[in-house]
């Protein structure tokens, strides 16, 4: 496959700014007046439960029409109808797990945002070949992954840091979101499932010297994906 890449970048993102930055990036590509996206974007998570959680969260916050594509869609009859619409559309946004994204036939996009840890160096290489702009979110303790990418050679050797003026990135309205977790059943269930899925993906990661639970606090993960009440 011919590489489509123009930009391979990463952002070293403070925990408290992760969701706000992702939401801001998406907002830049959505016209609230016309109710339309201006690019084809894929957001990549570690697990289907995280896909469910974030698509609901951003729909409630900003009414962003992000299409969740789950592993079950790959096998069910008519399950890839939404994906077919994405392929045919000039602009749209889908959210998938890494494993699902790698199995989607003919996947291409203007931008792929790897929000949660990639499976491997090869998965980054494969996904970045499907877009013209690949952006990888990393926590500060995961930045050594970039050196692994650079040593792997090819297009990934030019992986560059994208600097963000953090003071201008708005944080999510914590009290409002926590109230949703308390009162909306689907958000309560999805948040707990996504929390567990994210923690499991870190604990079981094959690149355990980079992606691991060392130094990861329950409070920190709750900030990354504010799934738990403040008391937890």
Is 19 a member of any domain? Answer: yes
Report the chain's mean pLDDT, rounded to a whole number: 86
Task: Flag whether pLDDT at 1 surpasses 80.
Answer: no
Is 198 a member of any domain? Answer: no
Is 177 a member of any domain? Answer: no
Average pLDDT over residues 3-7: 50
DSSP secondary structure string for all residues of the chain:
-----SEEEEEE--GGGHHHHHHHHHHTTEETTTTEESSEEEEEESSHHHHHHHHHHHHHHH---PEE--GGGGTSTTTTHHHHHHHH-SSEEEEEEHHHHHHSTT--EEEEEE-S--S-HHHHHHHHTTEEEEEEEE-GGGTHHHHHHHHT-GGGGG-EEPP--GGGSPPP-HHHHHHHHHH-HHHHHHHHHHHHHHHHHHHT-S-TTTSSSTT--HHHHHHHS--S-TT-
Query: Would you give the distance in Å from CA 62 to the centre of its chain?
Result: 17
CATH number (domain holding residue 14)? 3.40.50.300
Is 209 a member of any domain? Answer: no
- Provide the token pair at 225: 């994906």
pLDDT at 115: 96
Is 84 a member of any domain? Answer: yes
pLDDT at 78: 83
Is 202 a member of any domain? Answer: no
The total of structural domains in the chain comes to: 1
Is 185 a member of any domain? Answer: no
**What residues make up the domain containing 89?**
7-171
pLDDT at 222: 53
Is 213 a member of any domain? Answer: no
Task: Flag whether pLDDT at 227 surpasses 70.
Answer: no
pLDDT at 38: 96
Predicted structure pTM score: 0.90
> What's the CA gap between 123 and 73, in Å, rounded?
20
pLDDT in tens, 132-174: 999 999 988 899 999 988 888 777 888 899 999 988 888 888 8
């Amino acid at each position: 496959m011919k590489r489509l890449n123009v930009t391979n970048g990463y952002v070293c993102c403070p925990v408290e700014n992760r969701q706000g930055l992702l939401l801001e990036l998406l907002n830049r590509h959505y016209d609230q007046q016309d109710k339309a996206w201006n690019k084809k974007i894929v957001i990549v998570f570690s697990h289907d439960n995280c896909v469910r959680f974030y698509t609901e969260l951003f729909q409630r916050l900003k009414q962003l029409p992000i299409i969740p594509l789950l592993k079950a869609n790959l096998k069910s009859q008519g399950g890839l109808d939404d994906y077919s619409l994405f392929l045919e559309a000039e602009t749209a946004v889908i959210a998938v797990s890494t494993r699902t994204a790698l199995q989607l036939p003919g996947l291409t996009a203007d931008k792929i945002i790897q929000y949660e840890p990639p499976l491997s160096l090869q998965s980054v290489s494969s996904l970045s070949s499907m877009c013209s702009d690949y952006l990888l979110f990393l926590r500060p303790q995961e930045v050594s992954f970039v050196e692994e990418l650079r040593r792997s050679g090819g297009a990934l050797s030019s992986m560059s840091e994208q600097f963000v003026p953090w003071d201008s990135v708005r944080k999510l309205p914590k009290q409002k979101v926590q109230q949703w977790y308390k009162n909306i059943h689907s958000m309560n269930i999805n948040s707990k499932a996504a929390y567990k899925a994210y923690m499991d993906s870190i604990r079981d990661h094959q690149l355990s010297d980079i992606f691991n639970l060392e130094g990861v606090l329950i409070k920190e993960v709750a900030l990354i994906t504010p799934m738990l009440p403040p008391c937890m």
